[in-house]
Each structure stands twice: as C-alpha cells, then as structure tokens.
Amino acid sequence: VIMVMFGLSSLVRIEVFGENMLVIDQHIYDLPTPQPLQLFVFMGLLIVALYMQSAIYQFFANRWPKQRHWLATGFSLWVTLSLVWAVNHYLVEPDALNNIEEHLALLLIPASVIWAMSIVYFTWCFKDFSAYQSRPPLAVLFGQTAEMERALSAAEQARHIAEQRYHQLIERSDEVFTFFEKVDGRWRYTMVSPGYERLTGRKVDEMYEDPRAWFDAIHPEDRERVINELRDRRDKSLTFRLIHTSGETLWVTMHIYVIKDEQGEVARIIATTTDVTTLHMAIEALRESEARYRQLAEHIDEVFWMADIDTLSVTYVSPAFERLWGVSIDAMMGNNQGWREYIYPEDLPRIDEWLMQLSQRNFVPVEFRIKRPDGQTRWLRWRGYPVKEDGRITKVAGVTHNITAEKEAEMHRKALVMERERVELVNQFVSDATHDLKTPLSVIMTKVDMIRRAKTPEDAARHLDILEQQAERLIDIINDLLTISRLDFLEDVSRERVPLERVMHDIMERVQPLAENHQVALSFNCQCEQPLQLLANPKDITSCLHNIIENAIYYTEAGGSVTVTVQPEDGSVRIDVADTGIGISEEDLSKIFQRFYRSDKARSTSKGGTGLGLAIAKRIVELHGGTIHVESEVGVGSTFSIRLPILPIEQQQERDATVS
C-alpha cells in the first residue's frame, strides 16, 4: 500500500502551498499534469512488477528455503519499488534519469523502511512466511482481512501437523515407500523410507547415490524378471524374493504407481514394498496341503464331495466318483440331479428324507443302493459334515463309502444265521415230529396186538375205535407238516374277496359239536354295521381262524366258555377269541407260536394237538399283512387277537354294484 501511494503521489496533482509543486526529501519537483495514457501505462507496469515480485519470491524459496522469508520478501519489494520508481520518474520527468546516483540515494531510505515494515507485517500475520508464497500478487496489492490471515495460519498449522504425521507413518512403517523422480534430467530416488534398511539391511544413502543399488538385494533367480518388469513403466504389482544382508530370504510384494504430468509424460513413480514372507509361507503350506489332499482324493476309493448347504448343489466331486458310480464327473456336474436316476427307486424316499435333514443342519448317515450303467449293484453310505464360514454353516462336505462288501458280508452272516436256525429248526422238527409220530404209531401197534388177542367182537371194536382215532391224529400231524412246509416257501398268497361274516358263521357251525362234547359254551358277537370283506385266501384264512377257535375249546375245562368277537378298527378288522381255559404262563407266552411247542401242562393232557396249529396260524396272518397277539393269565383264560386288513367301503360298494 505504501508503495502504491508513493507511486501515485508522483502522478496526481497535489496543491501544496497553493502551487503545483511537491516537496520530497527537500527536493522540489515541478509536476506536469498527468495524462490518461501515463496512468494506464503505470498501472500495467505496476501489475507486471507485482508478478515479478512473486516470481522472485518463488526463486528464493526454492534456492534458500530456510532464509526465504526475510530475504525474498525484502529483495522482491526492493526490486519492485525500484522499477516503479524508475518508470514513474521516466514518465513524469525523463531528464531525472541523468542523475541516477541521486535517485538511488533517495530510494535507499524508503526501500529499507519498507523492507523492515514487511518483515514485521509478515511475522505478525503469518508466523510462518511460507504462507506468503501461496498468496496471489493482487492480494498483496489490495490486502486481506485479519480473519483470512488467521484462517490461512490455521490451515498452515494443519498442513504442518499432517506432514509430521505423514513422516512419522513413513518412518515407523515396516513397508518401504519410495519416490522415483527426474531431477536435472536424471531419474533419481527423492525419498526412501527407513523401512528399506530394516527390510534389506542396506543403507538408504546408497539408494540416493545409485538408483540401481537395490537390484543387488533381489534374489538372483528373480532379478532379471523384476528388472524387465520395471522397464515397462505402468501400474503393476510384483512378488519376488529379496536377500537380507544376514542371508535370510524374504518374499516381498511391490506395488508400483505411475504419476503422469499434463502432457502424459511420466513425472513420478511411487512404490510401496511389503514383506509377505509369512503370508507366502502360509500359502505354500496351504498348496502343499491341497496337493496332498488331491493325491489322497485321487487314489482312495472313497468319494469326497462338497455341496452348498442351501441349494444342495454339488460344487466338487473327487475322481473316485467315476470308479464307484461308473459315470463321468462332467456328466454329473452338468446335471446336479442326474445321480438320482442311478439310485434304486425303493431307496429314493430315504435319500429325500436325508437331504431334508441336511437342509435342517442334521448330519446323519444314510445307506442306499445304486445300479451302475454296467448293471452292477453297489451299496453306498453317505455321511455329511458341516463347513462353517464366519461361524455360519455354508457348505456340507461329504464322504461316500462303498459298503457293498460290508453288505454282502452282512447278508452272508444273516444267511449263515438263518441256515443255522433252519438246521436247529430241522433238528427240533425231526425230534418233535418223531415224538409226535411215534406216540400214535405206538398206540396203533398196541391196539393191533390187542385186537389180535380180543376174545369178543366188542373188545375188538373198542380197540378199532382207538386205532381209528390215532390214525386220524397221525393224518392231522402229516397235514400240519405239509401245511407249514408249504407256507415256508410262500412270499405271498393268492387272494380273492372273502365275506368275513359268512366265513365266521361256517367256522362256528363246524366247531359247535366239539364245544358241546367238551361242555363249553360257544358264542359269537359281530359288531359290524355293514358286511366286511377281506382280500384273502379263503382256505388259509378259514384254517387259521378254525385252529384258533378249536384250540380255545380244547384248553377250556367243562363248564367254561369261548367267546368270538368281530369288530372293525381303523381300516382293519379285529377278531378276538377269548376263553376261560387253563391259561398260559408268562414264560410260555413268548414261545407258543414256535413250531411243536406246547407247554408242559398242555402236553400232559390228552387234549394236546400237534404243536403246529399256532405256528401255522401266525404264518397265515403275516402273509395276509396282519398281526396276531395273545394275552393270558394262568387259571383265568386267554384272549387271542387277530387284526386283518379289510377292503375299503368304496371297493366293496363298487363290487356289489357290479354284481347287481
């Protein structure tokens, strides 16, 4: 402001003592009237001078950064003021340049004062003169408010703090930060962080002296590759080995960032180098583990697989799948549900249930059969294990075991057990059959001898009756043996519609004389609202029910009763045969359906049968899809309950309509 006022005062007409004269430092100048052109030229030169002042300041700031504040400020103002002074006097009084020594003397005193005032001004306003270089020259010309100066000062302090933090981060970080720039036409490192010394064991100064010095730290096997990559100045990442001065080999990753100027030329290259030795070792260990796992998966017979827990889509299958299933992995991966067509239809519901359990995070094994394309059958066992990510189950890993040999061995063991049981059964059968056949034969032989010795026809006739009874018993035993033998080889029976109520009435009529002979009250109670029909073999089902009712009569003392009840029950019919006979002990209850088994109490009486009746009845009921159960108490009686499936009402009505 002082400089502008000083310059303008030479051009503006001022009335002093009533005359057009201006007194400066005891010199009196006669001032002519200024012309507009002179004012315009002066202002233009003043602006040029101000920009020259800024350029001079920048020059000093770059050359002498520590002394730039006072040196650049004073010198630039001095030069600028001199230029304005000279131009002003040349325009106003050209002859004054002839006495330049006088003018320089006049210039020295105000310039020195202005220099001192500038230093005081900047010291008070900025505290740090570096803020001055960011101010535009016109701001110096027209001034700024104190608030703006304080804002600039706060911004400068913030910048200074940021720089301090940046340098602290660079100095303490284990990563290596480098700036590679062109200086005086040559590419050099302008900044290398201290992490370089910790990473390589080499001094930072050698990087400043020779930019290629760090190449010696690169592992010989990686050096040529890294140098070739660096020649292509583009953003990239490199991973290679460094050799520490201690001899230790380190793995590092270098990230390179290329900064270009406005012309698209490379202006600066920034690089960060990170020690990734631990990470690399972990990755190598993982690769080795994966390689071992892959070798294991490729050579063992078990199939390893991986699937998404939500969609159950298979994401990985080991090569053993092809050997086990006889199907290529590509074909299976292309169709995630393609494996279902190789599973036995009878086992698919079990597989679907297992998959549902998996989706509900229940990991249970499942066994099933597959039929390979070559027709071979395989027994497999699937077992799944949860795979967690961030504590949440996201995948299921599974193992498929080939249990065909195990199943065949199990079937062989079962066959041996069954064969052993059959042999024992045959032995027991032979023993019991021999006993049961021997008894009537002995009686027959005795009676034959007694008939020979009979003295009267009446005695012979009585012995012939007993002989006939034993022959009939022998025939019953043989018939029962033939029946049980036939039933053993049946897996199903021929069936037809059988009206249950009519069958029951026929049986009751046939056993009524037996009940009367034994003085046993026989009753029948049918609690059916409408006729019931069975889909059964009429001969077998009649034989079964007849044997149960006949046994009840045999083992009921005179004066007792046998009650037969028929009632429908949830799609089946229950037939109860209750007697008030001798009863069966708990020890004998679990054995009464065995062949040739009769309790001692029953065998000791003359009422005992062949011992095959209940075994035959149980086999017939099972072949018809029913069940038979007994409850008994010694001295109270027994109740045999038979449940058989009946035809639905709709089918019975349809048949009745067809018959009509």
Give which of 309, 361, 308, 312 is closest to 340, Cα–Cα: 312
Average pLDDT for the chain: 76
Q: Indicate which CATH number applies to the domain containing 246.
A: 3.30.450.20
Amino acid identity for residue 371 in this structure: K
Q: Look at the block and give the residue holding tokens 């003018």.
A: 103
Average pLDDT estimate for 488-509: 85
The contacts of residue 403 (CB under 8 Å, 6+ apart) are 367, 379, 380, 381
For 468-489, write each residue's pLDDT tens digit. 777 777 777 777 777 777 777 7
Domain membership of residue 599 (yes or no) is: yes
Amino acid 443 reads: V
Asked, for residue 206, whether it belongs to a domain, the answer is yes
Looking at residue 148, its pLDDT comes to: 62
The Cα–Cα gap between 389 and 473 comes to 78
- 8 A C-beta contact, residue 362 and residue 386: no
pLDDT at 517 over 60: yes
pLDDT band, very low/low/confident/very high, at 129 (cuts 50, 70, 90): very low
Lowest mean pLDDT among 5-19, 264-278, 417-431, 533-547: 5-19
Q: Which of 86-100, 234-248, 259-273 has the lowest mean pLDDT?
A: 86-100
Which range of residues forms the domain containing residue 604? Answer: 494-653
What tokens appear for 10 in the block? 């030479």
* pLDDT (mean) for 541-548: 89
Residue where one domain finishes, among candidates 218, 251, 283: 283
Residue 60 included in any domain: no
Query: Minimum mean pLDDT among 78-82, 380-384, 578-582: which range?
Result: 78-82
Residue 137 pLDDT exceeds 60: no
| Alpha carbon distance 433, 476 (integer Å) | 12
pLDDT higher than 50, residue 171: yes
pLDDT on residue 641: 93
pLDDT at 319: 81
**Better-scored residue on pLDDT, 203 or 570:** 203
How high is the pLDDT of residue 522? 92
In a domain, 35, yes or no: no
Confidence (pLDDT) at 99: 52
Among residues of the chain, what percentage have pLDDT more than 90? Answer: 12
* The pLDDT value given to residue 341: 84
Position 518 pLDDT exceeds 60: yes
619-647 per-position pLDDT tens digit: 888 888 899 999 998 889 999 999 998 87
Considering the entire predicted model, what is its pTM? 0.39
Q: Per-residue pLDDT tens for 350-404? A: 888 887 887 777 778 888 898 888 888 999 988 888 887 777 888 888 888 888 8
For the stretch 229-254, pLDDT in tens is 888 888 999 999 999 999 899 999 99
Q: Exposed, middle or buried by CB within 10 Å (0-12, 13-18, 19+), for 18?
A: exposed
Neighbour-count burial of 475, counting CB atoms closer than 10 A to its CB (0-12 exposed, 13-18 middle, 19+ buried): exposed
Q: Looking at residues 93-110, what average pLDDT do you find? A: 52
pLDDT of residue 252: 92
Mean pLDDT lowest among 54-58, 151-155, 460-464:
54-58
* pLDDT at 387 (0 to 100): 82
With bands split at pLDDT 50, 70 and 90, how would you rate the model's confidence at 453? confident
Q: Is residue 358 part of a domain?
A: no
* Mean of pLDDT values over 61-70: 58
Give the C-alpha separation, 195 to 216, whole Å: 17
CA atoms of 85 and 104, how far apart (whole Å): 10
Closest by Cα among 570, 575, 569, 563 to 621: 575
| Single-letter residue type at 641 | S
The answer to whether residue 209 sits within a structural domain is yes
Cα-based torsion angle of the residue sequence 235, 236, 237, 243 in order, rounded to the nearest 10 degrees: -90
Is residue 137 assigned to a domain?
no
- In this predicted structure, what is the pLDDT of residue 12? 42
Give CA–CA dist 575/643, Å, rounded.
6
pLDDT band at 523; cut points 50, 70, 90: very high
Question: What pLDDT shows up at residue 240?
Answer: 92
Kindly give the residue spans of alpha helices, DSSP state H, lying in 248-375: 277-299, 320-325, 329-334, 348-359
Q: What angle do CA 136, 140, 146 make, to 5 degrees?
A: 105
> Which residues pair with residue 142 across a beta bridge?
none
Q: Kindly report which listed range (34-43, 430-439, 469-478) carries the lowest average pLDDT score.
A: 34-43
Does position 600 have pLDDT exceeding 80, yes or no? Answer: no
Q: Collapse the DSSP code of 89 into the 3-class scheme (helix H, G, I; strand E, B; otherwise coil) and give the result.
A: helix
Amino acid letter, 611:
G
Alpha helices by DSSP H, listed for 130-257, are 137-142, 146-172, 195-200, 205-209, 220-231
Q: Does residue 657 carry a pLDDT above 50?
A: no
Residues 238 and 256 sit within 8 Å (Cβ to Cβ): yes
**Is the residue at 181 inside a domain?**
yes
Query: Distance (Å, rounded) from C-alpha 332 to C-alpha 321?
Result: 10
Q: How far apart are CA 578 and CA 559, in angstroms?
A: 15
Q: What is the CATH number of the domain that holds 568?
A: 3.30.565.10
| Percentage, residues of the chain above pLDDT 70 | 69
- Average of per-residue pLDDT across 330-340: 68
Distance CA(635)–CA(649), nearest Å, equals: 41
What pLDDT score does 508 carry?
92
Q: What is the pLDDT of residue 22?
A: 41
Highest mean pLDDT among 12-16, 489-493, 504-508: 504-508
pLDDT bracket for residue 19 (50, 70, 90) = very low
- How much of the chain is in helix, strand and coil states, percent to nearest 5? 55, 20, 25
CB 535 within 8 A of CB 496: yes
Is the pLDDT at 10 greater than 60? The verdict is no
- Domain termination site, one of 283, 313, 342: 283
Structural domains in the chain (count): 2
**Boundary-marking domain end, from 283, 307, 334:** 283
Confidence of residue 139 (pLDDT cuts 50, 70, 90): very low
